[in-house]
Amino acid sequence: MNDTIAAMATPSGEGGISIIRISGSSAFPLLYKHLQPRKAGEKLDFPPRTMVLANFVTLRGDIADQVLGVRFPAPRSYTGEDVAEIHAHGGYSAAQVILENLRLSGIRMADPGEFTRRAFLNGKISLPQAEAILGVITSRTPQGMYAASRGVQGETEGQIEPLLAKLLSFLGEIQVLLDFPEEEYYGDSNKKLLQRLTELQQEAADIRERLFSGFLLNKGIHVVLAGKPNVGKSSLFNALLGKDRAIVTSIPGTTRDVVTDSFAHRGMTCFLHDVAGLRHTEDVIEKLGVHLAREKIRTCNIILALFDGSETTPGDPYLLDLLESLSGAICIPVLSKSDLRKPSLGNLPADFQNHRLWSSPPLLVSSLQGRGIEEIKNRIVDCVAREHTLSQSVYATERQLEEMDICMEHLHDAGRALQASEELDAASSSLSLGLLSLQRILGKEWDDLLLEEIFSKFCVGK
How does pLDDT run across 88-101, given as a tens digit for each residue? Answer: 998 888 899 999 99
> For the ranges 62-76, 186-200, 296-310, which has the lowest average pLDDT?
186-200
Look at residue 254 and tell me whether its pLDDT is greater than 70: no
Query: Length of the chain, please?
Result: 462
Backbone angles phi, psi at 438, to 5 degrees: -65, -40
pLDDT at residue number 42: 82
Look at residue 117 and tell me whether its pLDDT is greater than 60: yes
**pLDDT-based confidence at residue 152 (cuts at 50, 70, 90):** very high
Who wins on pLDDT, 7 or 361?
7
Cα–Cα distance, 7 to 89 (Å, whole number): 15
**Over residues 213-222, mean pLDDT:** 87
**pLDDT-based confidence at residue 34 (cuts at 50, 70, 90):** very high
Cα–Cα distance, 144 to 138 (Å, whole number): 9
Domains of the chain: 5-126 (3.30.1360.120), 132-217+397-442 (1.20.120.430), 221-386 (3.40.50.300)
> Starting at the edge strand that comes first in sequence, how are the strands of the sheet with 83-91 ordered?
35-36, 52-57, 63-72, 83-91, 13-23, 5-8, 108-109
Region of residue 337 (left: phi > 0; alpha: psi -120 to 50; beta: else): left
Q: Record the pTM.
A: 0.79
pLDDT at residue number 116: 93
Q: Centre a 10 Å sphere on the Cβ of residue 234 and count the other Cβ atoms it contains.
A: 23
How does pLDDT run across 98-109, given as a tens digit for each residue? Answer: 999 999 999 999
How does pLDDT run across 376-417, given as a tens digit for each residue? Answer: 999 998 888 766 567 778 889 999 999 999 999 999 999 998
pLDDT at residue number 181: 61
The answer to whether residues 75 and 122 touch, using CB atoms and an 8 Å cutoff, is yes
Beta strands in 227-324 (DSSP E): 259-265, 268-274, 302-308
To the nearest 10°, report the CA torsion of 447, 450, 454, 460: 60
Look at residue 50 and tell me whether its pLDDT is greater than 90: yes
Cα–Cα distance, 228 to 365 (Å, whole number): 16
